[in-house]
Structure 1
Amino acid sequence: VNKKYMVYILALFTLLVISFIANIVVPIVIVRPLLVTQYFCPDDWIRFQDSCYYFSKQEENWNSSRYNCSTQHADLTMIDTMEEMNFLTQYKCTSDHWIGLTMTKNQTRQWVNGTIFNKWFDVKGNGKCAYLGDDGVATARCYTERKWICRKKRHL
């Protein structure tokens, strides 16, 4: 009777250990790193509010800059609020950076996501592609080489 009782206790203990590993240890080891990497921005990206921003170190034309953003599952940044404008202006330092605003064929300004620019800030110049400079947003010929700013939403 004692031996059967010990086998029964050992079996219950083994099941308890397996249950603990399956329900506690495995979710922590597998799920937690996924949550951490989704919450934070990738290396070399800067978090601001719900987005991640990449400020390039090299210079390219507007189309190449946009392509470089797309390889990182991002696009050239749009500027939706004054807070975002202030953040971008402060963080970019003194270099001009391409942003995701262009002039369409019918002479309206459009963001890279297809929405029409609502003119909440001034855009200087009559070029086709927009950049953020020391004096705000201006335009230039798209083949000019500048640094650029990518933006992507931070995944929660």
Structure 2
Amino acid sequence: METNKQKQNLNELDEKNEQLNLENILLQNKTKDLMMNVTKLEDQTKRLTAEKKFFEIQNKEMTVNMTILQKQIKQLRNNSEAIIKYTNFPGDVFCPEGVCQTCPKDWIQFKESCYFIYNLNSPWKSWNESQQFCQMKKSDLVVINNREEQTFIKSRIEYYHDIHHGYWIGLRRINNNWIWVDESQDTLGYWKNPGSSEKFAIIVHDANLTHSWAKNRNGFENRFICEIKALIF
């Protein structure tokens, strides 16, 4: 009887051991599943982190692009406001490549005007030819309105060839009055040779500031200065 009891106990132990083995196998499987899920979660976390960084970079790029776009819009608005000031805006002169500048290329700005100083050694031009050249550039020969502008112009010209040569300005005599190309009458009278009977005017370098305009004939060939209103943004 004792032996049978022991056998019974042994069988029960075997069954419990087998049960434990099964539970251990189940636990191992669950552990594997859990580890797989953890790995998946880690992969998802890495992917989400990478996507977050990607979107952060995209957001920064969009912010930069938006700032650039806002600056471009502001520039276009400023351009539009400046262009409105012109009756016939010379876009080909100020915006040759679609980007507008205060002054055309190779022109010099002084206050609200731009100046083109023709400094080539040759060919020089008559007063009429000079004015025609300026008009092709949507401008006119320079109109000197005050001493400050006279000082600026005088500082930009140079001596060339001889004392008789200078730069044509937009001043000529009409009905015994000296009239600028904008049809205003001259009030400065910075003449070097006031007694001359010639009807057109040049400004010369080798003379005092307020005595540097010389009367000259139209056919005499000189350098010249063009002026156009600046595109103020």
TM-score bracket, normalised by the shorter chain, equals 0.7 to 0.9
Q: Which has the higher contact order (CA 8 A, sep 6+)?
A: 1
Q: Which runs of 5+ in 1 are unaligned?
A: 1-16
Query: Which has the greater radius of gyration?
Result: 2
CA distance in 2, matches of 1:109, 1:84: 18
One-letter amino acid matched to 2:219:
Y
One-letter amino acid matched to 1:99:
I
One-letter amino acid matched to 2:222:
R
Shift of 1:93: 1.3
Shift of 1:38: 4.5
Deviation per CA, 1:3-49: give whole Å up to 9, x if none: xxxxxxxxxxxxxx9xx899755453466377495552111111111
- Report % sequence identity: 26
More strand by share: 1
Deviation per CA, 1:38-81: give whole Å up to 9, x if none: 55211111111111000013411000100110111110001111
Secondary structure of 1:55's match? strand
Equivalent position of 2:43 in the other structure: none
User: In structure 2, which of residues 131, 153, 160 is the aligned counterpart of residue 66 of structure 1?
Assistant: 131
TM-score with structure 1 setting the length: 0.76
Equivalent position of 1:107 in the other structure: 176
CA distance in 1, matches of 2:73, 2:192: 48
Q: Give the CA RMSD over aligned residues.
A: 2.8
CA distance in 2, matches of 1:123, 1:100: 17
CA distance in 2, matches of 1:83, 1:38: 27
User: In structure 1, which of residues 92, 97, 119 is the aligned counterpart of residue 167 of structure 2?
Assistant: 97
- The question of 1:51 aligning with 2:121 is answered no
More helix by share: 2
Equivalent position of 1:28 in the other structure: 71
Structure 1 residues 130 and 69: CA distance shift in structure 2, 3 A? same
Equivalent position of 1:147 in the other structure: 223
Secondary structure of 1:73's match? coil
TM-score with structure 2 setting the length: 0.52
One-letter amino acid matched to 1:32:
Q
CA distance in 2, matches of 1:150, 1:60: 13
